Every structure is written in structure tokens, then in C-alpha cells.
């Protein structure tokens, strides 16, 4: 065969080898360490930052807003309005992590110094971290936090320009962030917030939200409690009420307590809107795992032994059948990184080497192949026998 001529053809390999060596010989010997694409990735996702509490203020009689800046100052990473921060709390020498929707706006994080805020309601006895935020945090405290996680945000290439927020209780926080970002002109959307509360003095961020109202931000408070003086909307966030405030093509964003999700799933069905127009924030850790379909209720009082492998190191810890593997690990003082605590993000992806377990069906965000090989998201998995698991070394 011939391409150009025998000699030229057979000389090809040595020609290209010479060319390559020549390129190296003539190259600079100065180390080139610039990685601008990596730098942008690190600016958006720096991982855990030291965040210092700068200010604590009242958001309602039962809730507080906490402002954080980066320890040492400077900008905080960009994020999308609606996303959360995963904060690590050290309580009794053990690290426990919680996700909180950021109630401040992204543009505020990009100031210098930038800040983020979370708004947390005191619990009714079931959330010791929520109580700690309300009663135990003081200005100057430093916590580690991972900013800008989660999928609950407005995506202009997917969502309608008109967003209807269906919020309950402390579920108002992601929408407070959106409202501020829209008011600042840095998010191009229109927002109508239907905000359900039991009592008027229970409305979180009431003043701040009222101050943001404009032709692009509308706030409708809805009271379910019996208050004779209330002149606004009453009842629950029913399909009828939602219809009343819907204007043309609308995306529904839902964030609130688990009971509200159950109610709204039915109401949304009545609206006959396409699936792509409805977005629920993650469910949160199941309040009562025994109430879910398929959970073996007869095991609810059992405590099992979990053998935890980290590298070649092995620990044994107790674990209750009604508490997730993450809770058992945190109780035992074994560090496992979590973010959403709803089975979605996969930060706590864990290999089950042996033993039986139950995965909360609301929170099963696993990949198909992961299921096949007994991987679980430990925040959504509950032991049903003694187990051996493998987790990453933190």
C-alpha cells in the first residue's frame, strides 16, 4: 500500500516521535500551577467552612434567626436561593449535623464580608438541636458548615416564571431567600407565597417578608387557628385556595412539616398540573419510622449491635431498631458526614456487609446498582438485626 511514497510512509513513526520529543525540548521548564476551572469549582464548593455566629435575632415568638459570617471574613460561596447549609454541632463531645434552609439571599453571601442566615423554630420536644440553636448558641460561636446543598431551587430552564410557594411553619425559610433575591433583582422570577400558620403570632419572618412585597413578591398568610380578628385567608392550603392565587403557568414549590406534605399531595392532584410543575423539598428524617409501610413493628423495641468498619479499624455500637444508622453512629461518637438527612444527597452512603435493614420508602434516593450491592444512605436506613457496615474514614 502507499499513502505518499515508500520512504515517507515508512519514516512516519520516527517522524512523529521526533516531533513529540521536539515539543518537550522546546517547552518551558517553569511549573504551571494555574487551575482556574478547579478554582471556580472550589469557590462554589469549598466544603466545610468555619462559620462564626455574628448576630441572633427573634424571627417570631418561637423562632430565631442566626447570622453567620466566614471566620476571618471574606465572601461566602455562591448558592441558589432555596438551598441549605449543613451545620455541624458539637454537643457533649459528639458531632451531630443538621441541614437548615438558608433564609438569607445569595447576594448577601457574596458581599464582603458575606453572610448567611438560618431561621430555626424551637421544637415541641423532639428536636434537641433546634432547641440548642434557640437557647444555646451565642454570638462568637464557631460551627463548621457546608453551604449550598440540595435541589430545592428555581431553575429557569425548567420552572415556570411564576413560582407559587406553599409553605408551612419553618418551611418558609427557602422562600424568604428567594423573595430577597428577587427583590434585589438578581433572580428573575415572580413569587407568590401562600404561608400556612396556626396562629398569627406564629408567623415566622412576618415583618421581613411584608417589607419585600412588590409586584414580583406577594405574601399571603393563611391561618388555620381560630382568631376572630384575622382578616386574611383562613384554613389550610387547599386546592381551592391555591387555584385562587395561581396565575397562568405556575411552578409549585412545597416546603413544610411532614403532615403538610401528605395533605398537599392530595390537594395538588386536584389541580391537574403536570408533574414537572410540582417540587417538594426533601421530607426530612421520618418522625415515626414504625408508621411506614413494610416496617416490622414487632421489632420496634429491639436494640442491635452494629459492627462499624473504617479501614482496618473496627468498632461495635448499639443501635435501636427505630433510629437510623446515622443516629446510632452519632450517639456512639463515630463521625459520619450527613447533609440532607432525607436519603437524597447520598453523603452518608454506607456499605452493608451483613445484616437486615429497613429503608424509609419516603427517603430512598439510592442508585439501582447501589441497592443491588447493599449500599444504603445511613440516614434513611434502620437496623433490623445485628449488622456489619463500612463507612468512610472522616
Partner 1 sequence: MKFYKDHYDVIVIGGALAGLSAALMLADKGKDVLVLERHNLPGGIATSFVRGGIEIEAALHEMMSIGPEGNRLKVGKFLEDMGVKIDWLKVPEAYHASLPGLEVTLHPGLETFAKEVDAAVPGTYEKVLKLLNLCHTVFDSVNELSIHPMSKVQMLLKHEAFVKTAGYSTQEVIDTFDLPQKAQDLLAPYWIYVGTGFKTLPFTIFSVLMADYIGYGSYIPHKFSHEMSLKMAERAEQMGVQIEYKQHVEKILVKDGRVYGVRTARGDEIHADYVISAAYPNKVYTSMIEPMSEVPKEAIKMVNGRRLSLTAFSVIMILDKPAEELGIRDYSIFRGDTMDTEALYKDLAGLGPYRYLTCICHNYANPDATPAGTCSFSITTLPRVDGWKTVSADDYDRVKHEVAKQMIDDISKYYGVNLLDHVLEIVIETPMTVAHYTGMWNGCIYGYAHTMEDHIVARLQTAEQEKFIEGLEFAGAHQISGDGMGPAVTNGRKAAKNVLDDMKKKEAAK
Q: Shortest approach of partner 1 to residue 139 CB, angstroms? A: 29
Residue 32 sits in the site that holds partner 1 (CB under 8 A): yes
Nearer to partner 1, 207 or 373 (CB): 373
Q: Shortest approach of partner 1 to residue 362 CB, angstroms? A: 11
Q: Shortest approach of partner 1 to residue 349 CB, angstroms? A: 5
- Residue 299 CA to residue 289 CA, distance in Å, equals 11
Residue 97's CB is within 10 A of a number of other CB atoms, namely 25
Three-state DSSP state, 320: strand
Residue 38 sits in the site that holds partner 1 (CB under 8 A): yes
Contacts of 79 (CB under 8 A, 6+ apart): 102, 106, 109, 147, 148
DSSP 348: T
Residue 158 sits in the site that holds partner 1 (CB under 8 A): yes
- Residue 221 CA to residue 349 CA, distance in Å, equals 39
- Residue 138 CA to residue 119 CA, distance in Å, equals 15
Please pick, from the candidates 69, 108, 267, 337, the single residue that binds partner 1 as defined by CB under 8 A.
Answer: 337
Residue 112 sits in the site that holds partner 1 (CB under 8 A): no
Nearer to partner 1, 35 or 266 (CB): 35
Please pick, from the candidates 33, 126, 138, 272, the single residue that binds partner 1 as defined by CB under 8 A.
Answer: 33
Name which of residues 56 to 85 contact partner 1 (CB under 8 A).
78
Long-range contacts of 298-304 (CB under 8 A, 24+ apart): 299/384, 302/384, 304/355, 304/383, 304/384, 304/385, 304/386, 304/387
Residue 257 sits in the site that holds partner 1 (CB under 8 A): no
Three-state DSSP state, 254: strand
Shortest CA distance to 100 belongs to which of 120, 128, 75?
120
Nearer to partner 1, 141 or 307 (CB): 307
Please pick, from the candidates 8, 247, 270, 287, the single residue that binds partner 1 as defined by CB under 8 A.
Answer: 8
- Residue 140 CA to residue 54 CA, distance in Å, equals 6
Nearer to partner 1, 180 or 377 (CB): 377
Nearer to partner 1, 197 or 251 (CB): 251
Please pick, from the candidates 276, 288, 303, 354, the single residue that binds partner 1 as defined by CB under 8 A.
Answer: 276
Candidate ranges 14-22, 83-91, 204-212, 293-301; the one touching partner 1 (CB under 8 A): 14-22
Residue 38's CB is within 10 A of a number of other CB atoms, namely 9
Residue 43 sits in the site that holds partner 1 (CB under 8 A): yes
Asked whether the beta carbons of 219 and 205 are under 8 A apart, the reply is: no
Q: Shortest approach of partner 1 to residue 369 CB, angstroms? A: 4
Residue 29 sits in the site that holds partner 1 (CB under 8 A): yes
Nearer to partner 1, 157 or 228 (CB): 157
CA angle, 337 as apex, 289 and 302 as ends, to 5°? 30
In the structure grid, which three cell numbers stand for residue 153, read together? 431551587
In the structure grid, which three cell numbers stand for residue 274, read together? 403536570
Nearer to partner 1, 13 or 291 (CB): 13
Q: How many residues bind partner 1 (CB under 8 A)?
A: 70
Q: What are phi and psi of 219, to 5 degrees?
A: -120, 125
Three-state DSSP state, 394: coil
Beta strands 303-310; 387-390: pairing state = parallel
- Residue 260 CA to residue 258 CA, distance in Å, equals 5
Please pick, from the candidates 125, 207, 215, 313, the single residue that binds partner 1 as defined by CB under 8 A.
Answer: 313
Residue 7 sits in the site that holds partner 1 (CB under 8 A): no
Residue ranges in contact with partner 1 by CB under 8 A: 1-4, 8-13, 15-17, 19-33, 35-45, 78, 110, 151, 155-158, 274-276, 279, 310-313, 337, 344, 346-347, 349, 365-370, 372-373, 392-394
Amino acid at each position: 500500500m502507499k499513502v505518499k511514497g515508500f520512504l515517507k510512509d515508512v519514516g512516519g513513526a520516527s517522524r512523529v516521535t521526533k516531533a513529540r520529543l521536539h515539543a518537550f525540548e522546546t517547552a518551558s521548564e517553569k511549573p504551571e500551577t494555574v487551575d482556574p476551572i478547579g478554582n471556580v469549582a472550589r469557590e462554589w464548593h469549598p466544603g466545610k467552612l468555619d462559620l462564626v455566629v455574628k448576630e441572633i435575632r427573634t424571627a417570631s415568638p418561637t423562632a430565631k434567626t442566626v447570622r453567620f459570617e466566614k471566620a476571618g471574613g471574606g465572601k461566602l460561596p455562591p448558592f441558589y436561593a432555596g438551598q441549605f447549609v449543613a451545620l455541624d454541632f458539637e454537643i457533649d463531645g459528639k458531632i451531630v449535623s443538621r441541614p437548615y434552609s438558608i433564609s438569607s439571599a445569595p447576594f448577601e453571601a457574596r458581599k464582603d464580608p458575606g453572610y448567611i442566615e438560618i431561621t430555626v423554630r424551637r421544637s415541641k420536644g423532639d428536636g434537641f438541636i433546634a432547641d440548642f440553636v434557640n437557647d444555646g448558641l451565642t454570638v462568637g460561636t464557631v460551627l463548621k458548615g457546608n453551604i449550598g446543598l440540595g435541589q430545592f431551587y428555581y431553575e429557569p430552564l425548567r420552572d415556570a416564571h411564576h413560582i407559587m410557594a406553599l409553605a408551612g411553619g419553618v418551611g418558609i425559610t427557602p422562600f424568604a431567600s428567594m423573595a430577597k433575591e428577587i427583590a434585589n433583582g438578581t433572580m428573575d422570577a415572580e413569587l407568590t407565597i401562600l404561608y400556612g400558620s396556626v396562629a398569627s403570632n406564629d408567623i415566622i419572618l412576618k415583618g421581613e417578608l411584608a417589607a419585600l412585597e412588590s409586584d414580583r413578591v406577594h405574601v399571603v398568610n393563611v391561618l388555620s387557628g381560630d382568631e376572630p380578628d384575622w382578616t386574611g385567608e383562613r384554613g389550610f392550603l387547599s386546592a381551592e385556595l391555591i387555584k385562587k392565587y395561581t396565575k397562568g403557568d405556575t411552578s409549585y414549590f412545597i416546603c413544610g412539616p411532614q403532615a403538610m406534605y401528605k395533605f398537599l399531595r392530595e390537594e395538588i392532584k386536584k389541580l391537574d398540573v403536570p408533574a414537572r410543575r410540582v417540587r417538594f423539598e426533601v421530607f426530612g428524617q421520618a418522625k415515626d419510622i414504625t408508621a411506614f409501610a413494610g416496617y416490622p413493628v414487632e421489632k420496634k423495641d429491639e436494640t442491635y449491635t452494629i459492627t462499624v468498619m473504617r479501614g482496618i479499624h473496627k468498632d461495635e455500637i448499639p443501635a435501636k431498631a427505630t433510629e437510623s444508622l446515622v443516629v446510632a453512629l452519632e450517639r456512639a461518637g463515630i463521625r459520619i458526614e450527613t447533609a440532607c438527612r432525607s436519603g437524597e444527597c447520598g453523603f452518608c452512603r454506607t456499605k452493608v456487609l451483613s445484616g437486615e435493614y429497613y429503608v424509609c420508602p419516603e427517603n430512598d434516593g439510592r442508585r439501582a446498582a447501589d441497592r443491588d450491592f447493599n449500599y444504603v444512605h445511613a440516614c434513611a436506613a434502620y437496623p433490623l438485626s445485628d449488622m456489619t457496615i463500612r463507612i468512610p474514614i472522616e
